[in-house]
Amino acid sequence: MILREVEDPDLIAGTKRGKVEAYNVLVSRWEKRVFNYLLRLVGDREDAMDLSQEVFLKAYLNLNRLQDASRFAPWLFRIAHNEAFSHLRRKRPETEWDPQAGETASQPRLEPIETALAVSAALSRLPDEQKEAVVLKIYQGFKFEEIAEILSCPVSTVKSRLYAALDSLKETLAPINARGVE
């Protein structure tokens, strides 16, 4: 008998048959990625944790709508994207953009290394849409087409957001890089 690793589509099928344990395995595979995606968008651990739970609950309740199990990742991140931007819209009045914010309140708790702080600050200064494109591409490794599916926009929009973000990051991080801080 040839043993093979249980793959996501198997777990999705099991969940659709009512096996909660199958879904828990699926969650354990994806929770860290979803949490980090949300953390980099919303910048707060507790908020990212609450949103992660919401994302997995909504995914569970709507799993029957997922037609192609091989597209689980973009589908899951689409839900995460919706949750994150609903959250950002709700929080916007109390978190008006502050040019110093990236250097003070929220960033140091992520990583106490200067480079990481600089990256974190540079990311926080990007518009939400550009920041999300960077997170999905650089940190989550999705292809352009998958990002377009997650964001529900054309590939050309994904590219323009990502390229603009890279230009901004180059400009912000180049001086630090030139000082040799790593």
Out of 8, 14, 53, 82, the only residue in the binding site for another protein (CB under 8 A) is 53
Q: Is 18 in the site for another protein (CB under 8 A)?
A: yes
- For another protein, the binding residues in 90-119 under the rule CB under 8 A are 110-111, 113, 115-116, 118-119
Q: Is 61 in the site for another protein (CB under 8 A)?
A: yes
Closer to another protein at the Cβ: 35 or 72? 35
Report d(CA 68, CA 99) in Å as an integer.
43
Report d(CA 92, CA 73) in Å as an integer.
28
Closer to another protein at the Cβ: 92 or 170? 170
Task: Please give the C-alpha separations between residue 112 and each of 19, 40, 116, 117, 120, in angstroms, as whole numbers.
Answer: 42, 16, 7, 7, 11
| Beta-carbon-side half-sphere exposure of residue 139 (alpha carbons within 13 Å) | 19
Element (H, E) at 117: helix 114-125
Q: Is 142 in the site for another protein (CB under 8 A)?
A: no
Closer to another protein at the Cβ: 67 or 96? 67
As measured in angstroms, the least distance from the Cβ of 178 to another protein is 9
Q: Cα dihedral sign for 175, 162, 77, 4? A: negative
Report d(CA 142, CA 88) in Å as an integer.
22
The DSSP symbol for 7 reads: P
Does residue 6 come out as left (phi exceeding 0), alpha (psi in the -120 to 50 range) or beta? Answer: beta
* Number of chain positions touching another protein (CB under 8 A): 51
Out of 84, 120, 126, 151, the only residue in the binding site for another protein (CB under 8 A) is 120
Where does this chain bind another protein (CB under 8 A)? Answer: 13, 16-18, 20, 23-24, 27-28, 31-32, 35-36, 39, 45-46, 48-49, 52-53, 56-57, 60-61, 64, 110-111, 113, 115-116, 118-120, 123, 134, 137-139, 143-144, 159, 162-163, 166, 169-170, 173-174, 176-177, 182
